[in-house]
Amino acid sequence: MNAFLRFNPEYDLSSQPGVSPLFGVPVSVKDNICIQGKETTCASKILKGHVPPYDATVIERLKSKGATIFGQCNMDEFAFGSSSETSAFGPVRNPWDLDRVPGGSSGGSAAAVSADMTLAALGSDTGGSIRQPAAFCGVVGLKPTYGRVSRFGLIAFGSSFDQIGPITKTVEDAAILMNILAGHDSKDSTSAPMPVPDYTKALRRDVRGLRIGLPEEYFIEGIDPEVEKNVRAAAEILKRLGAEVKSVKLPHTAYSVAVYYIVAVAEASSNLGRFDGVEYGLRIPEKPLREMYFETRDQGFGREAKRRILLGTFVLSSGYYEAYYLKGQKVRTLIRDDFNKAFKEVDVILTPTAPTAAFKIGEKLNDPLAMYLSDIFTIPVNLAGIPAISIPCGFTSSGLPVGLQLMAKPFDEETLFRTAYAFEQETEFYKKNPKLDGEK
Amino acid sequence: MEFEILKIAELARLNLKPEEQEKLTKDLEAILGYVKKLDSLDTSKVEPTSHVLDLENVFRSDQAKPSHVRDKALEHAPLREGKFFKVPKVVERE
C-alpha cells in the first residue's frame, strides 16, 4: 500500500500501563509533522535528511500520554494533492481496491488506519486532506476548528487554513484523541485560548431535537448518484433517530475552489520560500549562491509543488495582487457569511465528503483542475475555519466506501461527535473491513 | 492572458526544465481561467478575510530561556563551519 515512509522501532519506556492513557497505543503521523530526531520530509526530495530538533506540540502531547509514535505516513508532497500520488516516494494505494487512490493528501494515514496497520493516525487538513481520504478509505477523519489544535511543528502549507486532526476507526477514538490534541499552545499564536471540553461526554446516542441542514448546492451535477443515494439515506436515518432535517442555502459554494486555489497557493508559495538548501534538507552544490537556490528548488520540488509555487507567486505579484489575491480574500468573506447565516437555522450541516468514491490511480494526475474539483465539498469548511468530520455512510455497488461530512459552528466539535456517534452506532459501517488477502 | 512563466519562475527562485515549461504554462492558464469566475461577483463592499479567528495582538512575555537548538539545528545542516551555516559565495570574482 506504500502507506508508510518510515517506522519507529522504539517505544517509550517511561510510558506505564494503567497510568498513561495511551500506553502502548500505536499512533502514526503524517510526514509533515515534526518528530524530534526523526527524519521528516513532507514526502518531498527537498527535505531529504531533514531531522527536526524539536517535537511538534501534538507529538509532545501524544508522548506525554504514553502513545507509541509508530509510523510516519506517506502523503502528497507538501500536502499538495487529493490522491497521495504526488509523493516523491511513490503513490499510496487504497486498501479497498489497490488500483485506486486512498485520497489525499493524508492518504497514508487513512490507508494505514483502514487496513489496521496502526490504531490511529494524525493527518493535516488544508482543503479536505483529512476528510476526503477518510471518506475514500472508510474511516473517521476530523478537521477541527481553525485554532483548536496547535500547528506548532506542522510544516506549513496554507497557514490560515491548516489544522491537524485525528484519523481513526471509530468516532469514540477520534474523541479520545481530541481530548489530548486540542487546546491552547503558547508556541502557536493562532491557537485559540479557549477551554477544551471532555469530548467523550458528547458521545450520547441521542440526536433528538438536533437541527440538521442539507445544502442544495452540495447535491449538484457531477456527483456520483451512488454517493448521493447513500448520503441522502444517512439524512433519513438521522431523521428517524429524532433529528429535524431541513434545507439550507450556501449560495457561494461554487466559488470555493477558485478562492482556495488563489489564497491557499499564495500562502503556500510564501511558506515554501524557506526551502532553499541553506539550513536543512537537500542542497545541490552550485556556485554562486543564487544558482544554488534555483537548482536546489528545481531538483527538490515535484511537479505539483512547482505548479502551486508558480501560481501563488503569480497571484501575489505586482499588478495581479488585487485582481486575484485580494478578490479571493473578499469572496472568502462571502463564503464565511453563508455559513454564519446557515448556522442561525441549524446545528449541523450534512453533505457528501466528496463527489465520488475513490478514483483510479492515474485518472486525474495529469489534469490538475479535475483533481482540484474533487475537493469541492471539503474546501468551504477550511475557508470558513469551521470544524467538520467525515464518517462512513455506506458503500457503492462495487464495494467502495462512501463518506458523510458533518459540519458545525466554530468550536462546536461536541455536536459533531454527538451526531457522528449516533449515526455510527446505529449503522455500524465501521465494522466492515477491507479484504487484505492479496486477492482482488 | 500571456502567462510569463519564466518571469514568475525567476521570482520564485525556481529553475524549470525546458520540457516542463510548456505543460506548466498550459496548466496554469487553465487554472487562472477557472478562477476568473470570481469576477462575476460584486465585492466592492466586502471586506477581505485574511484570518478566521478574532484574535489580535497575541503577546507573550519576553523571557530568556536556555535553548540548545543551535547545536541540534546545525547537526543536520547541508554544510556548516563552526557555529555557522556555510553557503557558496554570493559574489564571484570575474
- Residue A21 corresponds to which cell in the numbers above? 492513557
Residue spans per domain, chain B: 5-39
| B16 min Cα distance to partner chain A (Å) | 6
pLDDT at B70: 85
What is the average per-residue pLDDT within A18-47? 94
Find the CB nearest B48 among A283, A298, A329: A329
Chain segment A85-135, per-residue pLDDT in tens:
999 999 999 999 999 999 999 999 999 999 999 999 999 999 999 999 999
HSE of A187 in the Cβ direction (CA atoms, 13 Å)?
Answer: 12
Candidate from A205-209, A270-274, A391-395, B69-73 with smallest mean pLDDT: B69-73
Q: What is the spatial distance between Cα A67 and Cα B58, in angstroms, rounded to a whole number?
A: 31
Whether B53 sits inside 8 A of A282 (CB atoms) is no
C-beta of residue A123 within 8 angstroms of C-beta of residue A154: no
DSSP secondary structure letter of residue A360:
B
Tally of residues, chain B = 94
pLDDT at A13: 65
Residue spans per domain, chain A: 4-255+348-431, 258-325
CATH fourth-level superfamily of A4-255+348-431: Amidase signature (AS) domain (3.90.1300.10)
Q: What is the ipTM of this complex?
A: 0.93
| B57 min Cα distance to partner chain A (Å) | 9
Instruction: Considering only residues A346 and B58, tell me which one the structure prediction assigns the higher pLDDT.
Output: A346
Distances, alpha carbon A228 to alpha carbons A18, A248, A253, A379, in Å: 45, 17, 17, 18
What's the whole-number average pLDDT of chain A?
95
Chain segment A427-438, per-residue pLDDT in tens:
999 999 999 875
Whether B69 sits inside 8 A of A54 (CB atoms) is yes
Q: What's the one-letter identity of residue A370?
A: A
CA quadruple A368, A371, A376, A379: dihedral positive or negative?
Answer: negative
Say whether pLDDT at B89 is over 90.
Answer: no
C-beta of residue A263 within 8 angstroms of C-beta of residue A126: no
pLDDT at A87: 98
**Backbone phi, psi, residue A279, to 5°:** -100, -30
Find the CB nearest A331 among B32, B41, B52: B41
Q: H or E element: which one contains A292? A: helix A289-300
